Amino acid sequence: MNKFYVTLLLVLLPVSGVMAQYSAQLSPASPVLKGTSKAGGYIGIYDGAFGILGQYRYGIGGYSDLGLKLAFIDLDSGSPEGDVGFSAAIDSKYQMMEVRIMDPIDLSLGGVFEIVKFNHFSNLVAGPIAVGSYPILIKNGRNLTPYGRLLIGLERSHLSGVKAETDFKLALNMGVTYDLSSSTESLAEIQIDSKYAAFLIGLSFGF
């Protein structure tokens, strides 16, 4: 498959109808190597909020890893949800396709669970995920990797004084990573949903 079309597909996927999530994806499809770790720090600029996020990933098998994410969210004053809240998420993925062995893209399947809590609002998201990415080797010998994540799951929201609601929704995240060195990468990601638009940037370090 032509590199240009693969990249275009991963970066320009439609973004309508995704669910409200603060933890984002923050990694391409390829898992962290078995027995190694990756940790990162990120800034999230949301519609009506600002967030500081952290992520830790650990390689639990030859083709799988486990991720833990924590975010502190500062909402605009006067928001009905409250002022300050947090998001905690856990996810795991297993790599099904690999460019290195001549598959068209890197593809991993897995699942995610996230909880969001503010003074007067709570939100739960859970469901399976599919993560696709395509590493592009550029002239300086480093990889530029566009990626996208699709989540098909359930979202349960509860605002104080209002009956809790459970919805079936789709979620989509799109981003790109760039290798700054053999152990450090930068990341930028876009997230759009019915409640929040967000742009996230950050760095991660392998060890």
Mind listing the domains of the chain with CATH numbers?
3-206 (2.40.128)
Percentage of the chain exceeding pLDDT 70: 86
Q: Which pLDDT does position 81 carry in this prediction?
A: 59
Residue pLDDT, tens place only, 164-203:
889 887 778 999 999 999 999 999 999 877 666 789 999 9
For the chain, what's the residue count?
207
Closest Cα partner for 21 from 105, 104, 87?
Answer: 87
Q: Which pLDDT does position 68 carry in this prediction?
A: 98
Average pLDDT over residues 120-147: 94
Average pLDDT over residues 20-48: 92
Q: What gap in Å lies between CA 15 and CA 23, rounded to an integer?
A: 17
Q: What gap in Å lies between CA 45 and CA 82, rounded to an integer?
A: 17
Contact 170, 192 (CB under 8 A): no
Residue pLDDT, tens place only, 186-195:
999 998 776 6
Q: Which pLDDT does position 20 carry in this prediction?
A: 53
Q: Is the pLDDT of residue 156 over 50?
A: yes
Q: Is the pLDDT of residue 7 over 90?
A: no
Average pLDDT over residues 131-156: 94
Q: Is the pLDDT of residue 18 over 50?
A: no
Q: Is the pLDDT of residue 99 over 80?
A: yes
Residue pLDDT, tens place only, 52-87:
999 999 999 889 999 999 999 998 766 665 678 999
Q: Is the pLDDT of residue 16 over 50?
A: no
Which H helix or E strand runs over 3? helix 3-11
Strand, helix or coil at 20?
coil
Mean pLDDT of the chain: 87
Q: What's the burial of 111, exposed, middle or buried (CB within 10 Å: 0-12/13-18/19+)?
A: middle
Q: Is the pLDDT of residue 4 over 60?
A: no
Identify the band that residue 12 occupies on the pLDDT scale cut at 50, 70 and 90. Answer: very low
**φ and ψ at 116, to 5 degrees?**
-125, 135
Q: Which pLDDT does position 8 carry in this prediction?
A: 39
Contact 92, 111 (CB under 8 A): yes
Q: Which pLDDT does position 95 carry in this prediction?
A: 98
